[in-house]
């Protein structure tokens, strides 16, 4: 993909002109939404190649990596993700329906909140 220039084209498509920090926020939201139903590690690894153009525009490399990693991990605690599935599988059978509902609510609430919080906390590093 890198040889074909796919990461460069995707980075250009996601770029907010004149604001690399807002571009990082867009990338954090993409990681968070995708991580809701996918592995957070896989989402983090696939979004990492989109970060170097933002770093070249002025985003902190450490802050960008931390924001992306936490945006994908914080949303992963839901019954559709790996972490939530493991938590649900380890619970007592009688507690699973309530736990499923609580994890689903947490996951749905964390989609709009977690990427913004991680971006706000780490994008400025």
Model pLDDT for residues 66-124, shown as the tens digit of each residue: 999 999 999 988 998 888 889 999 999 999 999 999 999 999 999 999 999 999 999 88
Report yes or no on 96 lying in a domain.
Answer: yes
Report yes or no on 44 lying in a domain.
Answer: yes
Report yes or no on 13 lying in a domain.
Answer: no
Report yes or no on 37 lying in a domain.
Answer: yes
Instruction: State the residue range of the domain holding 26.
Output: 19-122
Report yes or no on 11 lying in a domain.
Answer: no
Report yes or no on 43 lying in a domain.
Answer: yes
Tell which residue, 29, 4, 1, has the closest CA to residue 14: 29
Model pLDDT for residues 26-58, shown as the tens digit of each residue: 999 999 999 998 888 899 998 998 898 899 989
Report yes or no on 4 lying in a domain.
Answer: no
Report yes or no on 2 lying in a domain.
Answer: no
Q: What is the pTM of this model?
A: 0.86
Domains held by the chain: number? 1
């Amino acid at each position: 993909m890198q040889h074909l220039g796919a990461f460069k084209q995707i980075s250009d498509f996601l770029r907010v002109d004149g604001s690399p920090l807002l571009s990082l926020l867009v990338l954090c939201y993409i990681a968070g939404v995708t991580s809701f139903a996918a592995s957070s590690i896989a989402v983090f690894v696939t979004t990492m190649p989109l970060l170097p153009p933002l770093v070249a525009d002025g985003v902190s490399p450490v802050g960008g990596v931390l924001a992306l990693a936490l945006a994908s991990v914080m949303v992963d605690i839901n019954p559709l993700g790996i972490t939530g599935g493991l938590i649900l599988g380890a619970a007592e059978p009688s507690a699973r329906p309530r736990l499923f509902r609580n994890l689903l609510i947490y996951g749905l609430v964390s989609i709009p909140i977690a990427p913004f919080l991680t971006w706000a906390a780490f994008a400025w590093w």
